[in-house]
Chain A
Amino acid sequence: AQKVTQAQTEISVVEKEDVTLDCVYETRDTTYYLFWYKQPPSGELVFLIRRNSFDEQNEISGRYSWNFQKSTSSFNFTITASQVVDSAVYFCALGNQAGTALIFGKGTTLSVSS
């Protein structure tokens, strides 16, 4: 069975702090895709990144970076120098090669205060 675990329910930081959101996944598929989405208070899901199971290179995009480690089945997300606008719920999700529905973690609520 496929499963995504985001153990951190809520995280509170002060602006300019770095913060890492954890994501651990379970799957028996050898080919799969991992995603991170941001859900601001307005509710829509904003796509952040997609990573396939064959590409373990870490990725950096501005203040965002992702650490994918198959050995520990983790796909962690780090925000460097956090800002108030980063306050949102962040979801990690898993999809298989067939392109069927994404399986989401329960989300981590990030609160960044000034």
Chain B
Amino acid sequence: SQTIHQWPATLVQPVGSPLSLECTVEGTSNPNLYWYRQAAGRGLQLLFYSVGIGQISSEVPQNLSASRPQDRQFILSSKKLLLSDSGFYLCAWSWGYGYTFGSGTRLTVV
């Protein structure tokens, strides 16, 4: 069966520090992968999506970047975190018309 793993679950980072959040999918190949962010009390905002290795589409200009070094691995990064990067980050993958979300990473930038 297909599963999606996302880590870490929580993270507290100082302003200006780097960030790396990882998401991996098991049990499928060539999935579409997505990163969403949910700011406190707000909806889900699409940050990046990928339809294949090395193919990244950015939806919102910001302080973040994404990479897909392997078929089932999707990484969200930042060189220098801002306070406004705080939020709940969700990774997701899709197959056909179904979508599955990871358990999320709660990032607090202090």
Counting chain B CB atoms within 10 Å of each CB, the highest count among A42, A47, A102 belongs to A102
Contact A44 B44 (CB under 8 A): no
Size of chain B's interface in residues, with CB distance under 8 A? 23
Contact B32 A99 (CB under 8 A): yes
A70 near B: Cβ within 8 Å?
Answer: no
Determine the residue in chain B with the shortest Cβ distance to A37.
Answer: B101
Contact B44 A104 (CB under 8 A): yes
Contact A47 B99 (CB under 8 A): yes
CB neighbors of A among B4-49 (8 A): 32, 34, 36, 42-44, 46, 49
Contact B106 A91 (CB under 8 A): no
Collect the chain B residues with CB atoms within 8 Å of residue A107's CB.
42-44
B98 near A: Cβ within 8 Å?
Answer: yes
Collect the chain B residues with CB atoms within 8 Å of residue A37's CB.
101
- The count of A-to-B residue pairs whose CB atoms sit within 8 angstroms is 50
Size of chain A's interface in residues, with CB distance under 8 A? 22
Determine the residue in chain B with the shortest Cβ distance to A97.
Answer: B97
A13 near B: Cβ within 8 Å?
Answer: no
> Smallest distance from the beta carbon of B34 to chain A beta carbons, Å?
5
Contact B106 A99 (CB under 8 A): no
Of A33, A44, A101, A104, which is within 8 A of B97 by CB? A33
Q: A99-B94, A107-B44 are in contact. List 7 more A-B contacts (CB 8 A).
A: A37-B101, A44-B101, A47-B100, A91-B44, A99-B97, A100-B32, A100-B49
Q: Which residues of B are in contact with A by a Cβ distance under 8 Å?
A: 32, 34, 36, 42-44, 46, 49, 59, 88, 90, 92, 94, 96-104, 106
Sample of 5 A–B contacts (CB below 8 Å): A44-B102, A93-B44, A103-B46, A105-B43, A106-B43
